[in-house]
Amino acid sequence: MKKNIRRLIGTLAGSVLLSIGLALPASAANVNPDVIFGSGNANGGFTVGTNNNIEVGLRAKQRFPAANIFNYDGTDTYTFQAGESAPGSGRPLWNFEWSVNTDVSGTSGATVGDFLYRLKLDTDPGAGQTFTSFDPIMGFPYILGADHAFGNNSTGNGGGTVGNPLNYATMLDTMNVVQNSWAFNWFAAIDPTIAGLYTIEMEVLTQNMELLSKSGINVAVSVVPLPAALPLYGAGIALLGFLGWRRKRASA
């Protein structure tokens, strides 16, 4: 129990600043220009970081039953129940969605293919963090034609062009927006019935691996039904307030 409390405190405090001093976002937001993959996917509920004219958005979402339900604390944490869509299916009740816009202002001309990317998935539900990391856009096998949705600053809701082996290189060279919706367990060996706190981070890097922009979220997965867990959730909000007060007092 003490380990879990320490981990929660460390996660909340450690998420304030990135390794190169970029501040993690602290407000719910839409992504630009909109959510362009699939249909019926509403904008909003994202944790967004915008640095160097590059916007990175992450959010977690209820997957089963399908709905635009984010259970978001408005800062960087999303709360869901542990479990599967059907017993033995291996399909968690939640998934996560990412968005990158490499030219938010529409003035730089930077396209998706101008950068490298790193997606980090925490595979440890316990006190520690163990990340599996990969490039979800320029890395193998994604470079061969992943089914990401591509667009530009005028692409409307659900209007993205889905990548495939024939158009992927063209999309990288001409589009500045890329998004997708993924299940965590496709890439990380986790049991969806186990409760835990999982961290997801998305980074945009230069070709020399210098960090340009980033977003990060936490997904709190509980075996306790959400209504019964509300007191625990309230305690978490109180902890956030305490940490903010302590930082303010220390800087006074």
Q: For residue range 85-144, what is the model confidence (pLDDT) as tens digits?
A: 999 898 999 999 999 999 999 999 999 999 999 999 999 988 788 999 999 999 999 999
Q: Are the C-beta atoms of residues 110 and 119 closer than 8 Å to each other?
A: no
Report the C-alpha gap between 130 and 116 in whole angstroms.
22
Residue of 95, 12, 25 whose CA lies nearest to 60: 95
The mean pLDDT value for 236-250 works out to: 49
248 pLDDT higher than 90: no
* Contact (Cβ atoms closer than 8 angstroms) between residue 144 and residue 125: no
pLDDT tens by residue, 183-229: 999 998 888 889 999 999 999 999 999 999 999 999 999 986 545 44
235: pLDDT strictly greater than 80: no
Does pLDDT of 5 surpass 80?
no
Predicted confidence at residue 18, as pLDDT, reads 34
d(CA 141, CA 144): 6
Task: Give the per-residue pLDDT at 27.
Answer: 44
Question: What does residue 58 show for φ and ψ, rounded to 5 degrees?
Answer: -135, 145
Please determine, for residue 59, whether its predicted confidence score (pLDDT) is greater than 80.
Answer: yes
**Domains of the chain in sequence order:** 2-245 (2.60.40.2550)
pLDDT at res. 192: 85
Is the pLDDT at 236 greater than 70? The verdict is no
Helix (H) or strand (E) holding 121: strand 116-122
Distance of alpha carbon 7 from alpha carbon 173, whole angstroms: 41
- pTM for this prediction: 0.79
* Burial letters 202-215, b for 16+ CB under 10 A, else e: bbbbeeeeebbbbb
Please tell me the predicted confidence (pLDDT) of residue 126.
82
**In the beta sheet, which residues pair with residue 23?**
17
Average pLDDT over residues 31-41: 96
- Whether the pLDDT of residue 28 is over 90: the answer is no
pLDDT of 20 reads 37
Q: Is residue 94 within 8 Å of 80, Cβ to Cβ?
A: yes
Residue 40: C-alpha distances to residues 29, 35, 85, 157, 218 (Å)? 18, 9, 20, 9, 24
